[in-house]
Structure 1
Amino acid sequence: MSTQTLTHLRQLKLGGMASALQTQLEQPGTYEGLAFLERLNLLLDDENLSRQSRKQERLIRQARFKLRASVQDIDYQHPRGLTPSTVASLAQGDWIARAQNLLITGPCGSGKTYLACALGHSACLRDYSVRYYRLSRLLLALTQAKADGSYHKQLAQLAKVDLLVIDDWGLDALTAAHRNDLMEIMDDRHGHRATLMISQLPTDQWYTSIGDNTLADAILDRLMHNAHRLNLKGESMRKILGQLTEDEHLS
């Protein structure tokens, strides 16, 4: 009967309960003093935890982060204008729930992408859907979507993502079609979903980088309204870490 019960649980896709029941059967002395409902509640708790874990793994996989990063591994030893309290506050995700934006700027190698991926990872753990894109690849995907007729479907999917992370903002010149695409994205998300932008350019240069005064006003108004801003400073983290590794080898 135990084998049949385990088989039925797995057929019903209750793998967490099946694993927990297997543990109870293998350790009867641990659970024999518990009432039926107490043991059932333990099984339900394990099933809930199992489903939560699978959901988080799925969200992280679907986000397609450039880097595997977590807020626990952020380096604060080298001065970059970044504090643990600021990161801890952002990692709580209240700004995502409020559909606010986050703008991360700083020189090349200052850790902008790592920080963004770490905050995105934290958002996944809080059950938010996240998607990471380099801006050039996002615009290329939308151009291809226009060609195959899936453009409006792609825009609808982007509009539903709780946190859209866009890297390398302002790195390449934008065409008229690109500016229109960005306007569509920002308009869909404004007041409904959060966006995280990463750029080497200071925010006061973003207007010029867009290349069209009218659309620049419209895009940046939606992007910068009530946005949180982090401006990382200091020497390249890649250079610092590379030097530390070289010193370790020499020692």
Structure 2
Amino acid sequence: MIEQTLSQLRQLKLTGMAGALQTQQEQPGTYQGLAFAERLQLLVDQENQERQQRKQERLIRTAQFKLKAHAQGIDYQHPRGLQQAQMASLLMCDWLNKNQNLLLTGPCGSGKTYLACALGHQACLKGYSVRYVRLSRLVLALTQAKADGSYSQMLKTLANFDCLILDDWGLEPLTAATRNDLMEIMDDRHEQSATVIISQLPTDQWYQAIGDNTLADAILDRLMHNAHRINLKGESMRKKLNSLTQVEHLG
């Protein structure tokens, strides 16, 4: 009977319950003293835990993070102006509930992308859907979507992510088509979801970088309204790491 029950649980894709039931059968001394309701609760708890884990893994795969970053790996010792209290607050993910944005600026190598990916990873662990993409790749994908007729569907997909992370903002000049695309994306997401912008340019140069006064006003108004800001400074962390590595090799 137990084998039949295990088979049925697996057919129903209740693999967590199946695994927990098998454990109970293999360790009778541990579980035989428990009431039926208690043993049943253990099965349900294990099923719920496995489903949560699978969901987190699926969300992380879908996010396509550039870096395998996590909250525990954030470096607060490097002098770059990163405030631990602010990061602790952001890692709680309440800003996602409030559909607020995050503007991450700083020089090359200051760790902007790592911080954004760490925040995105934390969001996935809490059940939020996240997507990371470099702006140049997004522009290319949108151009292809226009050509094959899937543009509207792609805009809808982007709008549905709880958190959209756009890297390399302002790195290349924007075309008229790209400005219009960004306007569509920001308008869809405004006060509906959260957007993270990563840029080497300080925010006071974004207006000029967009290149069209009317669209710049509209895009930045939607981005900067109620946005959190992290402005990193100092020497490149990659440069410091390379220097340390060379010293170690010399030693």
Q: TM-score range by the shorter chain?
A: over 0.9
1:76 to partner: Cα distance: 1.2
Q: How does 1:67-86 map to 2 (within 5 A)?
A: 67-86=67-86
Give the whole-Å Cα distance in 1 for the aligned partners of 2:239 and 2:71. 21
Unaligned segments of structure 2, at least 5 residues: none
Q: How does 1:163-242 map to 2 (within 5 A)?
A: 163-242=163-242
Partner of 1:238: helix, strand, or coil?
helix
Partner of 1:165: helix, strand, or coil?
strand
Structure 1 stretches (4+) deviating beyond 3 angstroms? none
Contact 1:129 1:162 in 2 (8 A): yes
Figure out how many residues of one structure are paired with residues of the other and give that number. Answer: 251
Contact 1:71 1:87 in 2 (8 A): no
- The residue number in structure 1 matching 2:27 is 27
Do residues 126 (structure 1) and 126 (structure 2) align? yes
1:245 to partner: Cα distance: 2.0
User: Quick one: which amino acid aligns to residue 7 of structure 1?
Assistant: S
1:250 to partner: Cα distance: 2.5
1:239 to partner: Cα distance: 0.8
Partner of 1:246: helix, strand, or coil?
helix
Give the whole-Å Cα distance in 2 for the aligned partners of 1:140 and 1:207. 22
1:246 to partner: Cα distance: 2.1
Normalised to the residue count of structure 1, the TM-score between the two structures is 0.99
Give the whole-Å Cα distance in 2 for the aligned partners of 1:70 and 1:246. 26
The one-character-per-residue Cα deviations of 1:117-161 (angstroms, maximum 9, x if unpaired) are 000000000100000010011111111100000000000111110
1:248 to partner: Cα distance: 2.3
- The residue number in structure 1 matching 2:96 is 96
Partner of 2:33: helix, strand, or coil?
coil
Normalised to the residue count of structure 2, the TM-score between the two structures is 0.99
1:83 to partner: Cα distance: 2.4
Contact 1:130 1:164 in 2 (8 A): yes
Give the whole-Å Cα distance in 1 for the aligned partners of 2:57 and 2:177. 35
